[in-house]
Structure 1
């Protein structure tokens, strides 16, 4: 048993016999998934060369009974792929597993902490009962892993239910609705930017995470592993627009939800994501896949409606005895509190209310005063009868309903609030015009149709224009407003109903 680290790893993976032994073990290991395949791990090592690669193995130049690939950040060890690797574990055989994993963890437990997101459901854990000293260092937390069986008849019946059939028909009235599997690497590369935009917008609004935009190597990683046949990609299109997608990793007869799953917020009321999942299940069966792994986490929402069975998986953390005990106590308190409070998942479309509170009353009286910026009304002396264009010297441009523009919102501390507000607006029928100077977002103007539902439950009694964000660097906001009104054939009377008393997301001078 030996720890290979850094340059040693780069040398050992050049040896064909080592790679052949890795492949052989991956085929023999009962709990192996795509995330333990050398193609997944080595692609990550190649792209993320700022993370120190580590491999623990008993390979002797001829045979191998276990291998445990890891990455090191400070004194913390984790699995290659980070959260893109849904199932994180070592490879071994039933016969050799206990001796291998006990030996591997004994090698590292004094010098490193270890975090594995989810162990594959078939991972054996009986070795812990035989190692009381090691057990004191390990915290295990169990999770349910929902699985959808790809049964064509059942899924077809589900699609024909009244509510889903109505949503499909409403979409078809807007154009041609089509499900497509993407098999060409060129096609996948072409659509990937659109999928990333949809993914980042939703994840940014709900979780405040823009993982792919923050580190473009993750995009390159998906591109490369698709070329290597590790990914299954499919899209739902309305005419030429992608309104839902899923890019999931493949293990044998199973496709994992983990990767990318997206839908366009402009069609949220039609539930394109759920429709796509049901169509995907039918298509997977035709391609000889049996299961769609919905993956642990968030199982009280749509996953519970799609799941036909559940497996059990675990999160594993290894640390000092003291830190492990702290984790156990903290988790116990958290579980008790959750049981007392009850499970009441928040709807993503209502997240804005958590940030902004009620819209009732004067915005300046909100408990979130810090995000409001008052401007004097006389700054908006707009003459709607005047033919106006954006001054060329300003180099202002605008686009309608371009999600990518929202993702470059410049105030990092307020980004999640801005995106959450934008998602709520879009899903409730508002349209936006993003104004940019060069590649900087300097204003977001919203068109709010009559009847639009507000966060306080009221509905707009007339069409409105409203800024949610305006930078003082936009010297003549009235000119860009006039230009948008003329270009988009909006009613000039909208200007008189503009809410210009405050903006939720300003750049303060």
Structure 2
């Protein structure tokens, strides 16, 4: 579909579907697009033709291409808004949808305001019940079109956010941070585990060898702080990410390697003078050494040596961004509703959020995060409240079976469980009312892995069937008072089992205990194992029923949990 919008001096054209795809393939149009992006001061890599070509080609079965562009009276391209229409909902999105961090039109400075006004007019005419939402607009985007008296002034909402970033180069905060004792100690701890190296990935083939591990890190962390696990929820994302490396100068990929194993990675866009965090993930198994932070600092040092000006930490997400940033600047979310009543509803929501932001201004980040959890994920917040309230209840003793490893019959334990398998943990799905949400489960798992616990998992047909944990002395997270026990230096703890409703509980429990006890026996200095009785459950009151061939002590110990 192609349509001209009448104008006095310049025209806006809309192209969708097959016609728009042909435009993308037209070398002359490609050249015009690339030239316009090069001279547009606020353009980012997400408005590059190369990015659009990669995304449209991978997601063509889910989205229609939708291009709005403007030419002057000499036929020169002066404005372009690359969009897409989701086929299942008819929703209009910027090219890249949620995978585009910066969403904006590109234009010559003199024609920007006229172009976006005419483009919005045409979108409203063609899609009267839809809306256009662009996040995040860079700070230098012209906003004259929203001045008093302009026709879209009262039909659009612009909200400001802060973008944290690091300035790079000689004597920058990055260079100073790398010289601090704490960060030197973290790097030295990592080096004690193997050869530590920062690697710039420059080809698809190099990235393809590592991307599944990187995707697991990314999904686990994203799943712990949001309702999504991007690579698991979107099977096309892997190919799209790889395809970006086929476009020279579009994406910067870097990995922190320990021997030949990645422990942190970033695959981020390259824009005018800066690189952004994009697919950023790190291993939870080296939590005390902060591999994610170390990658950011080493990446900043590398980019500074290459002459780049800043490392964009991007808005939202983890608190480490605000803690590490040395500067911030404004970015904006633009929302334009083409339906009057929908606009009023959107305006009410924006007013509420602005009032909330003002109320939280100056409050600690922990307070802001609590408010976010109450509004957007009350399950996690109420779970944390329940943990705290449990301290006010009468003291309760937990029971533990105690096993002296010297009395355990030697033999080869079953090894049907994966140890510390992030891929398995990401297969968790809540099936019953009492089950944790996926976000709560992954948040819980992330914190345990960072604290040094070992996970033991078993999956079938793409579902997590069983998960249990082993804790060593000196490890563990004290933020969960209901599950903490003081461990002697010679003792391990086996605890907290998740069992899928369709799993064979007794068989899995027996195999899990056998494998974990066998692994505990291999840890130097470990002489005893405690098994949390609640993880066995009332159906199996006798530990001997589950582990034949193991002579346990007859007296079960009890400890106060506080």
TM band (smaller chain): 0.7 to 0.9
Structure 1 position 286 matched with structure 2 position 305: yes
Q: Does the 8 Å contact 2:494/2:516 carry over to 1?
A: no
Q: Does the 8 Å contact 1:17/1:62 carry over to 2?
A: no
* Superposition deviation, residue 384 in structure 1: 5.0
Unpaired runs of at least 5, structure 2 = 1-11, 374-379, 394-400, 402-406, 539-562
Secondary structure of the residue that 1:460 maps to in structure 2?
coil
Q: Number of residue pairs matched?
A: 480
Structure 1 position 136 matched with structure 2 position 154: yes
Structure 1 position 239 matched with structure 2 position 282: no
Residue of structure 1 equivalent to 2:472:
449
Q: Which region of structure 1 is more displaced relative to structure 2, 323-332 or 141-150?
A: 323-332
Aligned equivalents of 1:362 and 1:251: distance in 2? Answer: 50
Residue of structure 2 equivalent to 1:467:
496
Aligned equivalents of 1:31 and 1:349: distance in 2? Answer: 31
* Superposition deviation, residue 87 in structure 1: 0.9
Aligned equivalents of 2:53 and 2:531: distance in 1? Answer: 60
| Alignment RMSD (CA, Å) | 3.1
Structure 1 position 192 matched with structure 2 position 211: yes
Aligned equivalents of 1:247 and 1:347: distance in 2? Answer: 31
Residue deviations 1:80-119 (CA, integer Å, cap 9, x gap): 1112211111111011112211111111124231110111
Q: Does the 8 Å contact 1:136/1:324 carry over to 2?
A: no
Residue of structure 1 equivalent to 2:48:
37
* Superposition deviation, residue 190 in structure 1: 0.9
Q: Does the 8 Å contact 1:147/1:308 carry over to 2?
A: yes
Q: Does the 8 Å contact 2:496/2:532 carry over to 1?
A: no
Q: Does the 8 Å contact 1:119/1:314 carry over to 2?
A: yes
1:142–1:115 CA distance, 2 compared to 1 (3 A): same
Q: Does the 8 Å contact 1:182/1:235 carry over to 2?
A: yes
Residue deviations 1:423-469 (CA, integer Å, cap 9, x gap): 12112221111123465432112101234333245553342101331
Structure 1 position 255 matched with structure 2 position 247: no
Residue of structure 2 equivalent to 1:99:
114
Q: Does the 8 Å contact 2:253/2:268 carry over to 1?
A: yes
Question: Which of 440, 451, 467 is the matching residue for 1:428?
Answer: 451
Unpaired runs of at least 5, structure 1 = 366-376, 378-382, 391-395, 504-509
Structure 1 position 70 matched with structure 2 position 83: yes
User: Within 5 A, what are the aligned runs for 1:286-305?
Assistant: 286-298=305-317, 301-305=319-323
Secondary structure of the residue that 2:293 maps to in structure 1?
helix
Secondary structure of the residue that 2:288 maps to in structure 1?
helix
Residue of structure 2 equivalent to 1:53:
65
Q: Which region of structure 1 is more displaced relative to structure 2, 396-405 or 302-311?
A: 302-311
Structure 1 position 215 matched with structure 2 position 227: no
Q: Normalised by the size of structure 2, how large is the TM-score?
A: 0.78
Q: Does the 8 Å contact 2:145/2:153 carry over to 1?
A: no
